[in-house]
Amino acid sequence: MKNNRGLFWATATFLGVLFLCICVAAAGAAVLWVRSQPDLASRPAATAPAEPTPASRAEPPEEPSPASPPRVSERPMLPDELEIARALSRVVNNVAERVSPSVVNISVEVEDDLLGGFGQGSGFVIDKAGYIVTNNHVVEGATSIVVRFQDGTEVPAEVVGADQDSDLAVIQVDVDPDKLVPVELGDSTSLQVGDWVIAIGNPFGFEGSVTLGIVSAKGRAVRSPGQRPFSLPNLIQTDAAINPGNSGGPLVDMEGRVVGVNTLIFSQTPQANSGVGFAIPVETVKRVIPVLIEEGEFEHPFIGISGIELSPSFAEELGIDVDTGVLVIEVFEGSGADKAGLRAGTREATLPNGETVPVDGDIIVAIDGRDVRTFEDLVNYLDTLQVGDTITLTIVRDGETMDVEVTLGPRPDQIP
């Protein structure tokens, strides 16, 4: 009996151990199989669908509108971006500190038939001899001129020379040379559209005002603010704020060098800045001011024509075969153009504004080999020349292209 009981326990123990080994082996095999199936790890676990809440049954989830703009999370400004902004501020700070002592406020009294007049503008010192550059229209007709420096010093000034057609003037003060801080003249030819520029002046009498902007365009030709029928050529257009009182003040680059003289604004609202201001380029200053100091006046070259600018649609409307260029509508007697034989037309047509003009005259398509597509092209190039220079005009006459040499004379005081 004892032997049978021992045999029973031995057999039971053996079977238990065997069953345990089989379980361990099966578990190991299962683990190896799962590891051999990588897709299982990426499959989402199966879950029972959630029972919708009462609110979700009443209002299904709102789909985002395709027209709605994506939400943009607010991003804090990074340290390097802040440093760029601070660097620009430091540049403007330095330029203002350096140039402002050279900028003066100009007050003028002008005779008037009724009550008398008063005007104001800006200017800047160019040397220790007391010469100050400003606009002609600031001092034109002035009976007295008072210059006020940054430190409050006021002294009278006299006009040395003035030129209506460039809208530039030179005045001179007799003051301690230590108070005179001449500006540095830059290079307006190297300016690019988009370059930062700074205007300094006295808008509405607020002395030492500084505004920042960019060069919006170059080579603009805009009608002079005076009574003369000529355009100011090669102007720099800027969105730096320019207002009445800024006239004659400097437009400077980011190194504090003068690149232009602020002269006028274009605005639909009288006497209000609209982001379209113009400055006379410093290259014109370099050419005109020394002559004004030496001779008191400046002679501009004169070709001796008036004309209208052609465009493809306008040329088609007038029945002209040339798409672009300047159509000569008048040749002034005794001018270089007259002596060279340029012709105005005789067949008249009525323009959209009701004006009647001759439309079969010569058409200027190039000057000294440079294409003339707009009137600005012609005016801006002539501004770089001198009285007595000879130019070659390429013209179209009666359908034929030819070259004509024209010697430039001085611009007359009055157009015949």
Taking a C-beta distance cutoff of 8 angstroms, is the pair 244, 173 a contact?
no
List, in order of start, the domains of the chain with CATH numbers. 99-179 (2.40.10.10), 184-295 (2.40.10.10), 301-410 (2.30.42.10)
Taking a C-beta distance cutoff of 8 angstroms, is the pair 396, 325 a contact?
yes
CB atoms within 10 A of CB 84: 12
pLDDT for res 138: 95
Q: Is 39 helix (H, G, I), strand (E, B) or coil?
A: helix
Q: Is 380 helix (H, G, I), strand (E, B) or coil?
A: helix
pLDDT for res 20: 54
Q: Give the residue numbers annotated as catalytic, written as ranges.
A: 137, 167, 247
pLDDT for res 11: 57
Amino acid at 43: R
pLDDT for res 115: 47
Closest CA to 232 of 292, 170, 276, 279: 279
pLDDT for res 41: 41
Please give the Cα distance from 212 to 238 (Å, whole number). 9
pLDDT tens-digit series, residues 158-208: 999 999 999 999 999 999 999 999 999 999 999 999 999 999 999 999 999
pLDDT for res 353: 78
Please give the Cα distance from 165 to 284 (Å, whole number). 11
pLDDT for res 268: 63
Closest CA to 341 of 411, 403, 412, 409: 403
Q: Which residues of the chain have pLDDT under 70?
A: 1-79, 112-116, 225-227, 268-273, 416
Taking a C-beta distance cutoff of 8 angstroms, is the pair 278, 243 a contact?
no
pLDDT tens-digit series, residues 357-383: 888 899 999 999 999 999 899 999 999
pLDDT for res 315: 86
Q: Is 407 left (phi over 0), alpha (psi -120 to 50) or beta?
A: beta
Name the token pair of 57.
């049954």
